[in-house]
Structures are given as C-alpha cells and as structure tokens.
Amino acid sequence: MLKNTLNSYGSLTKFIHWLMALIIISLIAVGFFMADMENSDQKWFLYGTHKAFGIIVLSLIPLRIIWRLMNPQPTLPKSLPNWQKKAANANILFLYLCMVAMPLSGFIMSFFGNHPISMFGIFTIPAIERVPAISGFAHETHEILALAITASISLHILGALHHHFTKHDQVLKRMLPGCK
Ligand code: HEM
Ligand code: HEM
C-alpha cells in the first residue's frame, strides 16, 4: 500500500523515512568528522560529498512534507500518557524543522561564502562574492543545529527502541519495511 492508514505507514512514507534517515545520520557523522580534520585533499573531498548529499536532502524535503500533508498519520497507542504523545509529536515537528534548516543553512553558507557546490561532477550550483555577515550567520546556525538535531534524533531512536523492547507495541514495527 502506497498511502498511510490510521494504523500503519504506507510504503512511500517508509521508503522516504529510511532513505533520509540513512543520508542524514551519515551527514552528521561525516560532518563532525570532516570539520575536525587537518586541511588535506581527503578533507575537501568529504566537504564536497557532504554538500552534494546535503543538497539532495534539501530537494527531497518539500516532497516529504507534501506527502505527509496528503496522508493520515497513524495514531500512537491509546495507553501512552498524554505528555509522551505530546513530546513525541513535538520532537517530530522539530526534526522537520531541522530537515529544512540544516541543509538550507548549509546552502546559504556556501552560496554567500563564494563556495560553488559540485553535484557529483554532473553540474555545479554557483555561488556569489562572499558576504561574511550572511555566510557567518548561516555557518553558526549550521553548527548549533548540528548539536540540536543530534540530540533530537537520539531521543527519537531511544523512543522507538523503548516502544519495541519495553512496551512491546507496534510503533517501531509499523515503520519497518515489510511490516503492516
Ligand atoms: C540535512 C542536511 C545536513 C546535515 C544533517 C549536516 C550536518 C553537519 C554537521 C553535523 C556538521 C559538523 C558541524 C560542526 O563541526 O560543528 C556539518 C558541517 C558542515 N556542513 Fe553540513 N549538514 C547538512 C547539509 C549541508 C549542506 C547542504 C551544506 C552545503 C551545501 C553543508 C555544508 C557544511 C559545511 C561547509 C560544514 C563544515 C563547517 C566547518 O568547517 O566548520 N551541510 N554539517
Ligand atoms: C535508526 C534510526 C531511526 C529509527 C529507529 C526511527 C524510527 C521511527 C519510527 C518507529 C517512527 C514511527 C513513529 C510513530 O509511528 O509515531 C518514525 C517516524 C518518523 N521519523 Fe524516524 N527513525 C529513525 C531515524 C530518523 C531520522 C534520522 C529522522 C530525521 C532526521 C527521522 C524522522 C522521522 C519522522 C519525521 C517521523 C514521522 C513520520 C514521517 O513524517 O515520516 N527518523 N521513526
């Protein structure tokens, strides 16, 4: 089934969720790693790859938001305390905010920092003469959000594992490929 129902996620939601989860978690790991490296060809290679995959996230997120708005959302188990439902939903909202703001701040940092973005050598997104105030602000935003999204994803994963291993409910299973 392509679309969500009130009890389960559809195949397209699952596909986008896991594809973006894989890319975003890799971007975070590579991001912290590359920023700490000494200047070298390897470092600039990782910067280029990080930026190109970041732009892929930026182009996927509008489609993901439109798809979410077109679909019903499976409800959380009734037995769950209200505060936990609210916390889980607030965290999802924050993840969406980060999925827009992270790649957007990255793009702005590059565009106003005079760093063109090569999309895997296929084409290049141009940049303009450096505007330090804007690229500097975007850089800081990118760094602060990097910590915030790491915390938010950790909470999200711990929540999913808690549902599966402690509560033994369907919350993780219904997001897994092949499970209803
Ligand atoms: C969802 C998308 C993205 C995520 C999760 C992400 C994550 C990160 C993380 C965790 C860091 C390390 C931050 C630190 O050292 O404090 C980083 C650094 C960086 N990111 Fe991203 N990023 C994303 C998209 C982008 C995009 C689209 C671009 C540019 C087109 C970009 C350009 C950079 C650059 C240039 C750095 C290094 C900054 C420095 O040297 O201090 N990122 N990113
Ligand atoms: C190992 C990593 C992950 C696991 C185990 C996981 C697990 C889950 C589960 C079980 C749900 C369904 C929750 C429910 O039914 O209420 C869910 C939904 C969601 N997850 Fe994850 N997730 C992971 C990574 C990520 C990452 C990296 C992001 C984004 C940064 C993310 C964003 C979302 C969003 C936005 C939803 C709500 C459904 C939607 O709109 O697509 N997840 N996740």
Sequence spans of domains, the chain: 11-75+82-175
**What would the two tokens of residue 19 be?**
């594809």
CA distance 155 to 84: 12
Report the atom number in ligand 1 closest to the C-alpha of 36: 15
Task: Give the type of residue at 119.
Answer: M
CATH architecture of 11-75+82-175: Up-down Bundle (1.20)
Report the atom number in ligand 1 closest to the C-alpha of 99: 1
CA of 170 to the centre of ligand 2 (A): 14
- Average pLDDT in the chain: 97
Q: Is 118 in contact with 124 (CB distance < 8 Å)?
A: yes
The answer to whether residue 179 scores a pLDDT higher than 90 is no
**Ligand that comes closest to the CA of residue 13:** 2
Mean pLDDT for 52-61 is 98
Buried b (16+ CB within 10 A) or exposed e, 146-164: beebbebbeebeebeeebe
The pLDDT tens digits for 147-176 are 999 999 999 999 999 999 999 999 999 999
Mean pLDDT for 48-70 is 98
The answer to whether residue 178 scores a pLDDT higher than 90 is no
The pLDDT tens digits for 80-138 are 999 999 999 999 999 999 999 999 999 999 999 999 999 999 999 999 999 999 999 99
Residues with CB under 6 A from ligand 1: 24, 27-28, 31-32, 35, 47, 50-51, 54-55, 57-58, 102-103, 106-107, 109-110, 117, 142-143, 146, 149
HSE toward the beta carbon, residue 68, CA cutoff 13 A: 11
pTM across the whole model: 0.97
Q: What is the C-alpha radius of gyration for the chain, rounded to an integer number of angstroms?
A: 18
